[in-house]
Amino acid sequence: MRYGSVCSGIEAASIAWRPLGWHCAFVSEIKRFPSAVLAERFPDVPNLGDFTKIMPEDYEGDIDLLVGGTPCQAFSIAGLRKGLEDDRGGLALEFARLAFRTRARWVVWENVPGVLSSGKGADFASFLSTLAGWEVRVPSGGWRRAGLVTGAPGCYSVGWRVLDAQYTRVQQFPRAVPQRRRRVVLAGYLGDWTRVAGVLFDGEMCGGDTPPGRHAGGPAAGSAPGDAGACIPLDLTNLDGRVRHLPGKCYDDPLSAAYTITRRRPSGVCVGGVSRMLTPVECERAMGFPDGYTAVAWHGRSAENCPRWSRYRALGNTMNVNVMAWIGERIDEADKEACDGRQEA
């Protein structure tokens, strides 16, 4: 499977899909620090920059899948929920247009759950309409946490599902990751809707499982080497009173998962009665990345002295590796079954 990645960030998809043996034909990222991470971790993969300008002649060969997490701020409370009126929200439609230009058989797209209610559901309807090739209207009662839309001839059949990283278990992450992070994950196939249904809804349903746990007093899953004592996740966004769009809540249950990592600031833990921020390595683990993945030479600093806030922002803006692994494994299985069926025919 050859894929192209847009709004790549620090490329969670490639880390997730490496065990599948898939090949990344190109990445597309315009922000400087994430681009530096991509250049360090994927030196042989071209970064095509602004994905709205990508044409088939800009990369070698065809791609089978297009993946991207277009900016979520337009659909989030923090971004004032301007939806498609925001230039960042309009990039969702540009993603759909690029999918048709590449003629990728599969598409994978990720965003915040707020996209389902943005514009009273009309923004998501526009996105689905562009992919499916016919006018999709907002259903009575609004969009649900999961759904499926059949595509017109030559267009994408698409399905979506809200997944939470703390429940999403795959072979690499049998205990998932210790973080609440709910995201809409959309999969589309250029043809039969049953392929999409098989990927998103057949077999294991991860939404009703339990989050990763540990024994009281033991080390937290996200603890950095050398940390000792019970780690109680808490929300730091309310400690200084300046960020009010997230609920202020501390966790006194050691089994609770932390709030999602955001681009504004990471969550924190209470160790031995002392509150501290999560370290960049802990944030990498919470997102499913290898330790030190975002530590690269930057602005004249060595990798060992890479600015932590650059690392925090990049990790807050990326996808969860385990969620991308879950969707990738299921697409890989569905695609192999389709190839076997064609060979038997």
Report the pLDDT averaged over residues 183-210.
80
- Classify residue 309: in a domain, yes or no: yes
**Are 130 and 272 in the same domain?**
no
| pLDDT value of residue 344 | 54
Tokens of 108: 């994978």
- Classify residue 219: in a domain, yes or no: no
- Confidence band of 272 (pLDDT split at 50, 70, 90): low
d(CA 131, CA 33): 31
Report the pLDDT averaged over residues 176-183.
84
Tokens of 211: 């989050």
Q: At what angle do helices 321-344 and 193-200 cross, to 10 degrees?
A: 140
Name which residue leads in pLDDT, 22 or 70. Answer: 22
| pLDDT value of residue 271 | 65
Question: Which amino acid is it at 166?
Answer: Q
Helical ranges in the chain per DSSP H: 12-17, 32-41, 87-102, 122-132, 193-200, 280-287, 308-317, 321-344
- Classify residue 44: in a domain, yes or no: yes
| pLDDT value of residue 79 | 44
**Are 42 and 123 in the same domain?**
yes
- Confidence band of 252 (pLDDT split at 50, 70, 90): very low
Name which residue leads in pLDDT, 218 or 103. Answer: 103
- Confidence band of 250 (pLDDT split at 50, 70, 90): very low
**pLDDT over 50 (residue 235):** no
- Classify residue 52: in a domain, yes or no: yes
Report the pLDDT averaged over residues 21-26.
97
d(CA 243, CA 155): 42
**pLDDT over 50 (residue 80):** no
Out of 57-66, 213-222, 307-316, pick the least confident. 213-222
Q: Yes or no: say if 91 and 78 are a contact pair by the CB < 8 Å rule.
A: no
Which residues, at least 6 apart from 156, have a Cβ–Cβ distance to it below 8 Å? 99, 107, 131, 132, 133, 188, 189, 190
Looking at residue 278, the DSSP 8-state letter turns out to be: P
d(CA 20, CA 49): 26
- Classify residue 253: in a domain, yes or no: yes
d(CA 3, CA 27): 9
**pLDDT over 90 (residue 28):** yes
Report the pLDDT averaged over residues 118-125.
89
Report the pLDDT averaged over residues 195-199.
94
d(CA 157, CA 160): 11
Q: Yes or no: say if 327 and 185 are a contact pair by the CB < 8 Å rule.
A: yes
- Confidence band of 277 (pLDDT split at 50, 70, 90): confident
Out of 173-177, 222-226, 228-232, pick the least confident. 222-226
Residues of the domain holding 274: 231-317
Compute the mean pLDDT over every residue in the chain, rounded to the nearest whole number: 80
Looking at residue 265, the DSSP 8-state letter turns out to be: -
**pLDDT over 50 (residue 239):** no
CATH code for position 101: 3.40.50.150
**Are 67 and 116 in the same domain?**
yes
d(CA 67, CA 153): 22
**pLDDT over 80 (residue 149):** yes
Q: pTM for the complete prediction? A: 0.82
Report the pLDDT averaged over residues 175-193.
89
**Are 269 and 327 in the same domain?**
no
Q: Yes or no: say if 15 and 321 are a contact pair by the CB < 8 Å rule.
A: yes
Out of 37-46, 71-80, 195-204, 284-293, pick the least confident. 71-80
- Classify residue 251: in a domain, yes or no: yes
**pLDDT over 70 (residue 241):** no
**Are 101 and 171 in the same domain?**
yes
**Are 199 and 100 in the same domain?**
yes
CB atoms under 10 Å from CB of 151, counted, come to 21
Report the pLDDT averaged over residues 152-175.
91
Count Cβ atoms within 10 A of the Cβ of residue 233 and give its class: 0-12 exposed, 13-18 middle, 19 or more buried: buried
Output the CA torsion 285→286→287→288 (10° steps): 40
299-330 per-position pLDDT tens digit: 999 999 999 999 999 998 899 999 999 999 99
| Percent of the chain's residues with pLDDT above 90 | 56
| pLDDT value of residue 70 | 86
**Are 116 and 21 in the same domain?**
yes
- Classify residue 257: in a domain, yes or no: yes
**Are 189 and 305 in the same domain?**
no
Name which residue leads in pLDDT, 177 or 79. Answer: 177
Tokens of 138: 């907002």
Tokens of 116: 């389902």
- Classify residue 284: in a domain, yes or no: yes
Please choose, from the candidates 198, 204, 202, the residue with its C-alpha nearest in 3D space to the C-alpha of residue 338: 198
**Are 158 and 197 in the same domain?**
yes
d(CA 86, CA 53): 19
**Are 111 and 248 in the same domain?**
no
Distance from chain centroid for Cα 105: 20
**Are 237 and 186 in the same domain?**
no
Tokens of 184: 């809409």
- Confidence band of 176 (pLDDT split at 50, 70, 90): confident
Name the domain count of the chain. Answer: 2
CB atoms under 10 Å from CB of 229, counted, come to 16
**Are 253 and 330 in the same domain?**
no
